[in-house]
A and B are shown apart, each in its own frame.
Chain A
Amino acid sequence: MKTKIKEYRKKLSMTQEDLANKVEVTRQTINALEQGRYNPSLELAHKIKKALKLQYIEEVFMLK
């Protein structure tokens, strides 16, 4: 899974810690997501989409 979390996070001037706190996960999990080492559940993907102020999950998570 390819993600654009980092790009959208930078646009909103958010740190990994900020995003982690918003979606109630650890900073390490956000890092793993950004590196593409972990695929999130649908629930977490929705939370991330909401935290990054996006409309669709596909904007941030896409298949390679």
Chain B
Amino acid sequence: MITKNKKQLTWRYSFAIVLIVAGLLILHYNIGNEFLGFSSVGTWLIYVGFIMLAIITLQLISNKKRIVDERMQIIASKAGRLTFLAIILVSFIVMVSDGIKPITIPYSYFMSYFVCGIILVYVISYKILLKYS
């Protein structure tokens, strides 16, 4: 029930390093600009990789025992289902509203709002369920 074991830490460190290496390779060979259409992809990957490394290291340094019990896991899955429903509902609303009046904001902005919204819905529903169920 208590997470943060060695195997998990190794996986997380490996993933962060993979992100950084991928970012460096994309930058070095100019893949982002030539094939992916976004020149900053490599830089972003490196940025996310370093942020991840920092978070994992901070969690490792702090000796706070983090408990994730079965009730929290069940609530997390419930919050996931709620988020999924919210995505479907919002997508439908966006489709209808786009039909009525075309959405003119840039695609990158739209996706940023959408992803932030998904995260927000998940966190809020998780917190509410954790407290009241």
Contacts and interface: CB of A to CB of B under 8 A. Distances in A.
Give chain A's interface secondary structure class.
loop
Interface in A21-42: 24-26, 28-29, 32, 37-38, 40-41
B124 interface: no
Contacts of B1: 24-25
A24 B69 CA distance: 7
Give chain B's interface secondary structure class.
mixed
Contact of A24 (B67, B71, B130, B133): B67
B98 to A, nearest CB: 42
Nearest to A40: B70
B70 A28 contact: no
B2 interface: yes
A39 to B, nearest CB: 10
B70 A25 contact: yes
B96 interface: no
A44 B70 CA distance: 9
A29 B74 CA distance: 12
Nearest to B68: A26
B51 interface: no
Nearest to A29: B71
Contacts of A29: 69-72
A40 B1 CA distance: 13
Nearest to B131: A28
Interface of A: 24-26, 28-29, 32, 37-38, 40-41, 43-44
Given A26-B72, A28-B71, A44-B69, 7 more contacts: A25-B70, A25-B71, A28-B130, A29-B71, A32-B71, A32-B133, A37-B133
